[in-house]
Structure 1
Amino acid sequence: MDQRISFITLAVADVAASRAFYVGGLGWTPELEADGVLMIRVGEHVILSLWDRAEFEEEVGPITTGDGVAPFTLAHNVATREEVDGILWLARSLGRQASVAEERAWGGYTGYFADPDGARWEIAYNPGPVGQTVLPDQT
């Protein structure tokens, strides 16, 4: 098996609300739209699939819920600290809960916002070599 991820699928309560946030708010472009699903290319070979929660459960199985934050984040790395602050401001302007970015012990600068279903996005400036490998070509 190749060491890669092709799809990240999030079960969402309301595909239309997710579309309004990701497409209308963040300005992303859908790759595919069908009843109960919205797919957005988020990398050269990676698709974010936003799938109606009921349809997700029919195919994958029951979703467990509880208090707190889901034990994962989706990360969007940027080239500057200012971009981190700008994206967190954008999320707040869209009515989303967003933290204030902070300097991290590992040398980066990050903050978080929640999408309409509570999935946490980390917006990160990582000046180290690993952080640079995930940025689009800057040339």
Structure 2
Amino acid sequence: MKPSISIITIGVDDLERAFVFYRALFELPDESIGAGEDHVAFFFDDKFSFVLFPREQIAQTAGLETAVAGTPGFVLSHQAESPEAVDDILDRVLAGGGSVITPGTQSEWGYSAYFADTEGNVWELMAQPTTN
């Protein structure tokens, strides 16, 4: 099997707050956003969507008694175009109410940072080092 991820769904405690945060972060036009009574979906193209869903309902669907905050066991990663783009995204995260876990840092692997959205979900931002 060759995995192909077409939808990422994350659990949130406050759907409206998370929607406001991600709407500002993703900068998508209204026609690329769909909302239902219990979810919000951001459509990036025909092959990928990012969905916000109440954390408690995700737990129930998975057969768990209680919901767990954040993203235990995995981190969402975004490949940015440059270190400057990483820093620009971090500025938008802070403006939207998220928090910076690790500011942009240069290493042999490139430039990276970590942030948490308004719901505690952890993201990695990275820009690969340029080759000469």
TM-score of the superposed pair, with normalisation by structure 2: 0.80
- The answer for unaligned runs of 5 or more in structure 2 is none
Would you say 1:71 and 2:64 are equivalent positions? no
Provide the aligned length of Structure 1 versus Structure 2: 126
The corresponding residue for 1:82 is 84
| Mapping 1:45-124, distance limit 5 Å | 45-62=47-64, 63=66, 65=68, 70-98=72-100, 99-106=102-109, 108-124=110-126
Determine which structure has greater relative contact order: mean sequence separation of CA pairs < 8 Å that are 6+ residues apart, divided by chain length: 2
Mapped contact 1:36–1:55 kept (Cα < 8 A) = no
In the TM superposition, what whole-angstrom CA distance separates every residue of 1:57-102 from its partner, at most 9, and x where no partner exists? 2322224538x97231111112111111111122122232113100
Aligned-pair Cα RMSD in Å:
2.4
- The answer for unaligned runs of 5 or more in structure 1 is 130-139
In the TM superposition, what whole-angstrom CA distance separates every residue of 1:19-74 from its partner, at most 9, and x where no partner exists? 11111x213345321011111124551211111123222322224538x9723111
SS of 2:85 mapped into structure 1: helix
Identical pairs, percent:
27
